Chain A
């Protein structure tokens, strides 16, 4: 198991290097000059050249890339073109907001979707099942940022129960969490339902019933653990999706997180900021995916055995 984790962690490195190349190349393709973007249209050629030299953007692209990656090895994420401050400070400042949001979304959507999915599978074709199915269809079709706007309209503008924007207090996280959770709830619930329906038909469930196990034991002890395997994958994938979706949702609710940092960086071609924000996001995503894979091992002994054999 330890070897498996180590091997997977090592695999993350080439993935991150690849992503850094992709993003860096995309940023270089942009025709605009960062110094020009910062100084504005009125700046003289001399001023722009001076700033370019200061930022290092006058150097060849390959050299710029290796400068950035070299710094990364020493834990230096470079300085923002715009603020000239170390990007690390900005990341450390904003990371908790996005991470906290993603964790809240994961907890809330899991806590709601799994029980609902199990219930609707047990009452297949009932009124409850029909209602949850319709809600799931609507939530899946709803663009998340529009749901955010609707929540804002209702709870901030009309009812004035919650603050519309900000990211400093816990209360600021309520609407963004609900917004990002909605689609996850819908998909996880549907997945739990179909996975349960699949598992409940298995022979070993009949074996459990034939032993005389009460229905509650059959569901919780025998069916749920097996049914959760695909759901756990979905929860992990959704976590990554939340990180991506945070770009939009943080913008809707004006939250100071990695998403808005990335967006600002992209708009001003602030290469160190964009690179760092994307790499941190991807790193978290890789780690979460690894955690998901490890958690399989605890749920399913067959997968654990596979991990232990892969040396």
Chain B
């Protein structure tokens, strides 16, 4: 299968006046055309940083891409100038943000905010633009009569629909969804997810789904990547990751508690003991070793390589080193 997005050895740092945070430490990740990749990890693991790096939206002066490359349809996004990357943003690659409450501009109508997304990338007449806003709103299940309303007049779930409408209005090839349902009620979550799944099929998009909800992963992802302290520590198809009979990274095991069956309904991540590694002061060797139950001497000194576990499944852990040979 052809890759729509390829991330190669990406290193990103956040520079503050006090210290340097090593947010991403060599990320390798591919998303295939038409598939959904789930990116799972704790808060602070670097999930959102990956998303922002793809769109080059890291806060200027603070977040810097140090090395590596991001290829979209075979072309590097990092080499584009400001005008070129703007043409990609919102047109080829769209993003849905985590918090629907704060992601819409409070002083502009939702219709205007959707129209802006389309208008920036298509040259349409006023009438065509207005029609397209109407159809986009209806696509996400909002009556077009509400397009002159302001965000504060919408509920959280409806706001997230508006944000989805903005993201989908231009028919993007890749959709990045950054925890699109975390801020929503459980019932609304299900609706929004269902909507996204449906639209994905309809529009034939590829999707990067950032989440820490295993239910979502099981429900809509084709592949899963587990991220810890800015490194992908396990990757595989959704079946491989959820397969109890396979061996997994100790962190993944901790995350999943006991790895649930695909047939078992939504199960939240159970907290892993200890604290997330401090990105300003990463441990030597394997970043996870201070929290790992199965920590060995080598883990404290040497960064583990990834080991193939059969199929597309690989794990980055010293426990499975011998199998690589």
Contact = CB atoms under 8 A, between A and B. Distances in A.
A65 B99 CA distance: 60
A248 interface: no
B163 A305 contact: no
B239 interface: no
Contacts, number: 72
Given A203-B99, A206-B57, A214 B106 contact: no
B210 interface: no
A213 B97 CA distance: 16
B116 interface: yes
Given A210-B55, A214-B86, A301 B117 contact: no
B89 A210 contact: yes
Nearest to A211: B90
Nearest to B98: A203
Interface residues of B, number: 29
B166 A213 contact: no
Interface string A194-232: 000000001110111111111100000110011000000
Contacts of A208: 105, 116
B20 interface: no
Contact of A301 (B82, B102, B106, B166): B106
Nearest to A205: B105
Q: Which DSSP category, helix, strand, loop or mixed, fits chain B's interface? A: loop
B87 A226 contact: no
Nearest to B152: A302
Given A203-B99, A302-B150, A210 B57 contact: yes
B104 interface: yes
A227 to B, nearest CB: 10
A210 B97 CA distance: 10
A207 B99 contact: no
Given A212-B86, A301-B152, A305-B152, A207 B106 contact: no
Contact of A222 (B86, B91, B105, B163): B105
Contacts of B191: none
A299 interface: yes
A207 B107 contact: no
A207 B108 CA distance: 13
B291 interface: no
A94 to B, nearest CB: 40
A211 B57 contact: no
Which of B86, B87, B88, B105 is most buried by chain A, counting CB atoms within 10 A of its CB?
B105
Interface of B: 55, 57, 82, 86-91, 94-95, 97, 99, 102-108, 116-117, 120-121, 150, 152-153, 163, 166
Given A211-B89, A213-B86, A213-B120, 14 more contacts: A202-B102, A204-B103, A204-B104, A204-B106, A206-B103, A207-B166, A208-B105, A208-B116, A209-B57, A210-B55, A212-B89, A299-B107, A300-B106, A305-B152
9 contacts: A203-B97, A208-B116, A210-B94, A211-B166, A213-B116, A222-B105, A226-B106, A301-B106, A301-B150
